Amino acid sequence: MSKSVSRPAHRGNARPFRSPNVSLVRAIAGSLSGHGKLAGRITLASGIAAGALVAVPAANAAPVSHEVTTVESAPVVEAPTLEASATPAAMLTDIQQLERAVEVQQRKAEAARKAAEAKRKAAIAAKRAAEAKKKAEAEAKAFAASQQGKIERAISVASEQIGDPYVWGATGPSAFDCSGLTQYAFSAAGIELPRVSRDQAAALPTIPNDQIQRGDLMFWGSPVYHVGIFLRWENGEAIMLHAPKPGAAVREEAAWSGWFAGSTHQV
């Protein structure tokens, strides 16, 4: 873009003038722009030397005429604005402080990440443990239900023999000795027991008497010589179903003293 300016032409002697040093002006502008020491706008004209400055006419000079000279528009250089100047030492200190702050934040972020990861793994482990426990409890409950169902079946079979005579060495189906009755009843329910009472006692886990459950076996003697099936507690007494002795029949009655318990629930 160009613009026209009027420039007087002088008659007679004109006052000499010095052309401005364009390179120097540009260098100053570049220095100011690069270092950001001043705010403002500096205009550089590439055509200054061609006639941007006007000479002053001498005294009593003849009237002047005007000639038109074209001057190229000057580029504009913007200098950045700084709120305050800073020395290199101060800038270095600021950078070091910033680096330390970044390091602190990075360490905090890493610690938070590790804590979150540990929490996630702990939650997964807890969930798996809870699931395993739930599964084990369900399996134990199912087994208990299944085992208790078998035990109830054994009690039912033994109860059907009430009134059958005791016969030494008999194993049913119409006469029994003590261990013959227990073996017969539990075998019908799918629980296999040894033939004689001593071996039956050895095959079952011994439990405290106050933990005995319906369908567990009661034993007497050391070595063992008799066995019966525990049914329930009545007035603090254990009630059993057994084939008692020669001359008697299979029946329910209060347990004899001196017994100990073997669990059929844990086999």
> What are the backbone dihedrals phi and psi of residue 141, each rounded to the nearest 5 degrees, phi first?
-65, -40
Per the CB < 8 A criterion, the answer to whether 255 and 210 are in contact is: no
Q: Residue 66 catalytic?
A: no
Other residues' Cβ atoms within 10 Å of the Cβ of residue 206: 12
Of 10, 66, 226, 265, which residue is the catalytic one?
226
Q: Residue 35 catalytic?
A: no
Tokens of 200: 């039956």
Other residues' Cβ atoms within 10 Å of the Cβ of residue 72: 14
Q: Residue 265 catalytic?
A: no
Residue-by-residue DSSP string for 122-137: HHHHHHHHHHHHHHHH
Of 10, 35, 66, 242, which residue is the catalytic one?
242
Indicate the residue type of 157. Answer: V
Of 10, 35, 178, 265, which residue is the catalytic one?
178
Q: Is 181 exposed, middle or buried (0-12, 13-18, 19+ CB in 10 A)?
A: buried
Tokens of 231: 């049914």
Question: Tokens 């550089």 correspond to what residue?
Answer: 44
> What are the backbone dihedrals phi and psi of residue 38, each rounded to the nearest 5 degrees, phi first?
-130, 155
Residues marked active site are found at: 178, 226, 242
